Amino acid sequence: MRYSPFLVEAEYNAHFVAFETLLRESDVIVICVPLNKSTRHLIGAAQFEKMKTGVVVVNIARGPIIDEAALVAALDSGKVSSAGLDVYEFEPKVHEGLLKHPNCTLLPHMGTFTEETSLDMEVWKTVTDCNMIARIGLNWILKLITLCFIELDHSQHEILSDAW
């Protein structure tokens, strides 16, 4: 089945709106977009200005999507009443203003640290590996593995030789 915004709207009683409308009318904004050229600093000073006073902002996507200096200013002014982040613009460094702000909740990016997600990731990797083998051929994979073992064995041999 293909994705249809009309089906999503009907099923969840949701409405797709323009970005400017979303900024202007939302009480809570949860950011979950991929990071690319067009989304870097998608939320900055100009976007915070368009938001309702007292908006809650949550970023669970990628850190550089929010200009953290602009977020700190918006928190300090009360434009943003609170923020929740588990990703940071300059990871692992976190903006000092966010660390000190009482209305900012900062968490490590651990969304994949669940048993279910770990299992899903293992399955995904296995499927990906099988697809890679199918694409480039088992013979090439075996040659690559053989070269890796030869290199590993050679490195260990040098280490052992140095030790004696």
Same domain, 77 and 40: yes
Q: What DSSP letter does each residue of 19-63 carry, written as one string?
A: HHHHHHH-SEEEE----STTTTTSBSHHHHHHSPTTEEEEE-S-G
Same domain, 90 and 146: no
Same domain, 120 and 78: no
Residue with tokens 């994949």, as numbered in its chain: 112
What pLDDT does 135 receive? 58
Q: What is the pLDDT of residues 29-65, one digit of tens each?
A: 999 899 999 999 999 999 999 999 999 999 988 999 9
Give the domain range for residue 150. 115-163
Residue with tokens 């400017």, as numbered in its chain: 20
Same domain, 85 and 121: no
DSSP assignment letter at 2: -
Same domain, 32 and 52: yes
**Choice between 129 and 69, residue whose per-residue pLDDT is larger:** 69
Return the active site residues.
Answer: 62, 91, 109
Same domain, 14 and 88: yes
Domain holding 98: CATH number? 3.40.50.720
Domain count, the chain: 2
What are residue 20's phi and psi, to 5 degrees? -60, -40
- Enter the pTM of the model: 0.66
Coil/strand/helix, residue 91: coil
Same domain, 99 and 147: no
Same domain, 100 and 119: no
